[in-house]
Structure 1
Amino acid sequence: MKTALSLAVLAATTASLAIAAPAAAKPGDPIKVSDDLTIDPIIEGTLRWEHVDQDNLNLDADAVTMRMRAGAEATTNGLSLLAEAEGTLAISDHYNDTIAGNNGYLGAEPYSVVADPQNVELNRLQLSYKGKAAKVTIGRQRIILDDARFVGNVGWRQNEQTFDAIRGEAKVGPVALDATYSLSQRTIFGVDSPNSHFDGDFILVNAGIDAKPFKIVGFAYLLDYDARIAFSSQTYGAMVIGSVPLAGKTKLDVKLRYANQQDYKLNPTHYSADYFGAELGVSVAGFGVKGGYEVLGSDDGVAAFQTPLATLHAFNGWADLFLTTPAGGLRDYYGGLSGKFGNAGPLKGLNAAVLYHKFESDFTGADYGQEWDASLGFAVAGYPVLLKYANYDAKGFGSDTEKFWLQVSFKY
């Protein structure tokens, strides 16, 4: 009954926003206080229902959560101070929020995991200075490098991942350099979790050149965890990404990436594993088709290539069954279709996508199952609405899993 009521609240809220939404201020418009001072308010939120059905659990998970972020950024003469709080409310808490003991349970809750615990925290507090060719930021901040495959903010989850760090960015002509030293990874698991943050010494360096039509990036990520030592690693690699015009408005999208990862500092497991990713896509007039092959390699089954700072939901299937790479590594053969359909009555910017993944072990080639993903997005009265679905067929590896999401968001 509680879940049904929560879903009714979600549906009613979505409908009311669609029908009676007031005119919103354009996102990103700062308020001019004086000739030298502007203040940019931050107000955004996401209301989401997430349903999870796994064969190995008797109780399906239903999470209805509301996430709000509020703050402001004041800027004067290139100097900026940004402060932002973040809060997530569990309207329906029939899910395992990864914090043992919540909801009266002493151990793991008898539901599937939805990693959106109820939480109030300081999300960002940063001071930055931006000149003509360089920018320096110090404090708790959001860091997204390239497509977030190795370093990101885990933006899909309600509680964002940020970093306590000092970051420098510089660009001279086509050459760009991005270097970060971080002493703490502030995770998505909330302030009440024993995994709320992971401290250590993290060095993140990207150097790139925009050699049109391709961008070439080299990177080095050195992760020295204080306690999470099994994830201490050194990763070096390069990426080539770009688009090549074909006939008419058709273009070929290319992404190639290689990296090698080895143990680092106190990691007790000595290993060396390779990463390889190749993706090709063709797009024309808002419609696209793509195919790719990604390998997170294994060192003979001893240890595998890991990406503990990544936005993992965007890769290897939306069901999130491979957030930690199995010791035998992972091969992901994938392909997808996407389309932008324009406006359909009150539905603005209608878009859809379908993706397929076939998973295997890198070490032995064992079958890790397959997954279908689909999404439908549009805006109603200026409010983005998203529906997503994931269906993972385990083929004997893990458990069959279905997930469904419905969310509406706003931003001012």
Structure 2
Amino acid sequence: MNSIKYVAQKKLALSIMATAILATPIAFATETKHGNGITHALNDSKIDVNLRARYEGVDQDGFDKNAEALTLKSRITISTGSYHNFSLGLEVDDVHAFIDDYNSQKNGNTQYPLVLDPQGTDINQAYLKYLNQGVSVTVGRQRILHNNQRFVGGVSWRQNEQTYDGVRAQYQTDKLVIDYSYIHNINDIAANDVQGDFHLANAKYEFNKNQVISAFGYLLDYDIALTNSSNTIGALYQGNFNDLFVNASLASQSEHGNNPNNYNALYVNAEVGYKLNAIVLLAGYELLGSDSGVAFNTPLATKHKFNGWADKFLGTPNEGLQDVYLTVKGKLSEINWSATYHKFSSDQDNIDFGNELDLIANYKINNNYSMLAKIAHYNDGGSSKITDTNKLWLQLTAQF
């Protein structure tokens, strides 16, 4: 009952906040052309509510206690209609832990394994956007997702999403999208403000609906985490050939800004998949190379999507990382399911980094509710660098 009461109180508080924000301009909307325009924009506004309750359990070698986290993310999203091609967006998130037997990096519970879902309330997005004839400019805190999120993403799996403070400009035609952002602060998943000068550029060209190529360049200059400062350029190809599909990516990375290291590391990813009736089979290889003891790194990526859900390789080992993986997925009745096996090794020094099995089942109850169960089993393969880890997630999502 206390949990239900908390959810109701939080939802009410966020709804009152949203109503107040939207109602404020109405006081200034007199019966003029200007006032009517504002009124129409407000009438076209949307308020969305998302609630995501999740249990996460972690059994990790090296800890006497297992981690248990029962958290609730409450999100309210406000999007206004357009007025003279301008619109506003606001998104507020609250994360509350009903069970906090875990290390969030904020709560001091270092006797438990890490579950990176710290409690707190923050502004996830707050922006002003201009959109006209294929040109858009967004100023403020915003969500930025490039391609498959291997280099720039939002890490939306975690309860506190990663968003970006800065200016983003986009130009779009039927086949071409050009996207550039200047970011001065990253609102990361650990509720930290990570400052620096970050230039994010991506261009995507669609030859047709089945053939897409993207080119990207990222200049990251961190104020504090200097070894993350890097210059990355690369390309991604995504192609579909009836039941066969391929993805291929190649990138090069070197030091940038005040990074004390001197290196030039390579990134390679190649995937081939085949749709066999209701089953999809996929085989892939990913290399995050190493040079002079410094490995290719992707600090802005949605890393949970890659190299195993146990999150053992959120930071690339100094020796680099090779990941050979096989995925089979499909649908059974109304349940979408997937199974992936990873075999990890180093780029240099021939180190066995172990293996991992990831399983997931997702059931959409209706348009408002869905359920998810997910398992990650990582075996270190005898490596002294990484520890055996098992993770379990049970999740219920509601959106209105």
On whether the aligned pair clears a TM of 0.5, the verdict is: yes
- Report the Cα offset of residue 396 of structure 1: 2.2
- Aligned residue identity for 1:89: H
- Report the Cα offset of residue 381 of structure 1: 4.3
Distance in 1, Cα, partners of 2:128 & 2:41: 17
Distance in 2, Cα, partners of 1:262 & 1:269: 9
* Counterpart for residue 10 of structure 2: none
Secondary structure of the 1:75 match is: coil
* Counterpart for residue 399 of structure 1: 387
* Counterpart for residue 201 of structure 1: 197
Please say if residues 42 and 84 of structure 1, whose CA atoms lie closer than 8 Å, have aligned partners that are also in contact. no
* Counterpart for residue 130 of structure 1: 131
Distance in 2, Cα, partners of 1:322 & 1:381: 35
- Aligned residue identity for 2:338: A
Secondary structure of the 2:283 match is: strand
- Aligned residue identity for 2:398: F
- Report the Cα offset of residue 366 of structure 1: 0.8
Question: Which range moved further: 205-214 or 266-275?
Answer: 205-214
Task: Find out whether 1:164 has 2:165 as its counterpart.
Answer: yes
- Report the Cα offset of residue 89 of structure 1: 0.2
* Counterpart for residue 337 of structure 1: 328
* Counterpart for residue 346 of structure 2: 361
* Counterpart for residue 364 of structure 2: 379
* Counterpart for residue 284 of structure 2: 292
Equivalent residues in 2 for 1:65-84, closer than 5 Å: 65-77=71-83, 78-84=85-91
- Report the Cα offset of residue 304 of structure 1: 0.2
Distance in 1, Cα, partners of 2:202 & 2:328: 31
Distance in 1, Cα, partners of 2:154 & 2:174: 28
* Counterpart for residue 323 of structure 1: 314
Please say if residues 33 and 39 of structure 1, whose CA atoms lie closer than 8 Å, have aligned partners that are also in contact. no
* Counterpart for residue 222 of structure 1: 219
Cα 1:119–1:260 shift into 2, 3 Å:
same
Secondary structure of the 1:158 match is: coil
Distance in 2, Cα, partners of 1:381 & 1:126: 31
- Aligned residue identity for 1:155: S
Distance in 2, Cα, partners of 1:336 & 1:33: 50
Secondary structure of the 1:148 match is: coil
Task: Find out whether 1:304 has 2:304 as its counterpart.
Answer: no
* Counterpart for residue 114 of structure 1: 115
Task: Find out whether 1:184 has 2:185 as its counterpart.
Answer: yes
Deviations 1:270-307 (A, max 9, x none): 1110000000101144420000000000004x100000
Secondary structure of the 2:381 match is: coil
Report the count of equivalent residues. Answer: 363
- Aligned residue identity for 1:385: M
Structure 1 vs Structure 2 CA RMSD? 1.8
Q: Any stretches of 5+ residues in structure 2 without a counterpart? A: 8-36
Percent of paired sites with the same residue: 38
Secondary structure of the 1:230 match is: helix
- Aligned residue identity for 1:244: F
Please say if residues 293 and 331 of structure 1, whose CA atoms lie closer than 8 Å, have aligned partners that are also in contact. yes
Question: Which range moved further: 74-83 or 365-374?
Answer: 74-83
Q: Which has the higher helix share?
A: 2
TM-score, with length taken from structure 2: 0.88
Cα 1:378–1:33 shift into 2, 3 Å:
farther
RCO comparison, higher one (Cα < 8 Å, 6+): 1
Deviations 1:47-72 (A, max 9, x none): 00000001111100000000011131
* Counterpart for residue 257 of structure 1: 249
Q: Any stretches of 5+ residues in structure 1 without a counterpart? A: 14-31, 191-195, 246-250, 344-349
Distance in 2, Cα, partners of 1:33 & 1:374: 49
Cα 1:36–1:197 shift into 2, 3 Å:
closer
Task: Find out whether 1:411 has 2:396 as its counterpart.
Answer: no
- Aligned residue identity for 2:172: K
Task: Find out whether 1:64 has 2:70 as its counterpart.
Answer: yes
- Report the Cα offset of residue 214 of structure 1: 1.2
Task: Find out whether 1:231 has 2:233 as its counterpart.
Answer: no
Distance in 2, Cα, partners of 1:33 & 1:204: 33
TM-score, with length taken from structure 1: 0.85
